[in-house]
Structure 1
Amino acid sequence: MIDTVAINTEQFFKQSKKDLTIDSERINLLTNIVHYISNEIKKNKKVYLNFICTHNSRRSQLCQVWAKYALDYYKLKNIECFSGGTDVTAFYRNTVKTLQEVGFKFEILEFSHQNPVYAITYKNCETPIIVFSKIYNNELNKKPFIALTTCSNAEKDCPHISEAIERFYIPFNDPKNFDNSLYKAEKYLETNKQIAGEIHFIFDLVKKSI
């Protein structure tokens, strides 16, 4: 088990939404995602969300973790979330650290210097989140899914995703740009909070609309 310095995850989740600052264009994007998810659920369909970025190491993983947290928080049973990339790298160590800082607990299930497999848990977690870097169409990512691309490279490199029933481009700032700077932890936490806030925004509205 990896040690954590935990704060209240629920408090961070709630505060992220309260502090969320987004423009009208972004609100329209998030609302369109809400409408699509809600309409699929109303058709009595199981909804699969696949967050995709190039390396499946930072932004897409943060999205998957917070989406799973939101599903438990709002007790939404007919949605599942996954993540993937166009290349395989690893669930990056600074991504692990920023999630630990807000209360998530990590256990190594399969050790690998290249691409370890983690189980992530949190208070009131119903089932652990199993995470590692993988291609977006990995067999573990159930299909057909709604594709949500979180970086410009993934959007460009995935001109056609045959497994996707719909696709949304939802970019976030890449904390990788600060990996070798004094602001590394701050910038990872900033992206972590932005993603938590927007995921909270989405699933709060999904819960209210179904």
Structure 2
Amino acid sequence: MYQEILNIIHSLRLDTINSNRKEVLEPLISFIRQKVDEDKEINLNFICTHNSRRSHLAQIWAQAAASFFAIPKVHCYSGGTEITALFPKVAETLNDQGFRVFSIADTANPVYVIRYDDNSLPVIGFSKKYDNLYNPVSGFAAIMTCSQADGGCPFIPGADKRIPITFDDPKISDHTSEQEKVYAERSLEIAKEMFYVFSNIKR
């Protein structure tokens, strides 16, 4: 794993996650534990309305966390209730925090390759609906990362479990002087919670 990312990982204060938030995260921990115990694939689909910000951050940090803790058979995906584009500031933020990010399709809905390690499969980032053929069709956990998608999608076909883990939208800072700070903070908040989840998984 790239050293810049390792530096962030070692700076995360998992002990600052409060008890209410730990309760929110517990269903995801339980889902992963069960799949590990059964020696099954662990498919996680992070879902937000536009699949442009929070769902991608959660997908990428969760995949990095699974790799860091050597939890096998973890495959992280993301999707939305509608298609837009991965917001450029998300790619910039991840790049600033140590990921290697580059575009392989410069279109209205660009496709990014996002690496946390030279020898691991990269995450492919682009906006898509949660039921896109790129994503799993059954046996996955649907993790709702925004309240709008959580309220608008009471049922996700094919999901073994539907888990709301919502985050504030960094979009509120767009086109302001606070944008860089807010996106960095939201990324690190999501990183901390995904690392907390995987730190509770025993192989």
TM range (shorter): over 0.9
Match of 2:45 in 1: 50
* CA distance, structure 1, for counterparts of residue 192 and residue 64 of structure 2: 12
The alpha carbon displacement at 1:137 in A equals 0.8
Matched-pair contact (CA < 8 Å) for 1:20–1:194: no
Please give the root-mean-square deviation of Cα atoms over the aligned residues, in Å.
1.6
Identity %: 36
* CA distance, structure 2, for counterparts of residue 22 and residue 71 of structure 1: 19
Equivalent of residue 84 in structure 2, options 89, 98, 105: 89
* CA distance, structure 1, for counterparts of residue 142 and residue 14 of structure 2: 26
Match of 1:10 in 2: 6
The alpha carbon displacement at 1:7 in A equals 7.2
* CA distance, structure 2, for counterparts of residue 104 and residue 9 of structure 1: 7
Match of 2:167 in 1: 172
In structure 1, the gaps of 5 or more residues are: 1-5
Equivalent of residue 112 in structure 2, options 118, 121, 130: 118
Matched-pair contact (CA < 8 Å) for 1:52–1:149: yes
Name the amino acid aligned to 2:46.
F
Match of 2:127 in 1: 133
The alpha carbon displacement at 1:22 in A equals 2.9
Match of 1:182 in 2: 177
TM-score, normalization by structure 1: 0.90
Name the amino acid aligned to 2:132.
N
State the secondary structure of the residue aligned to 1:192. Answer: helix
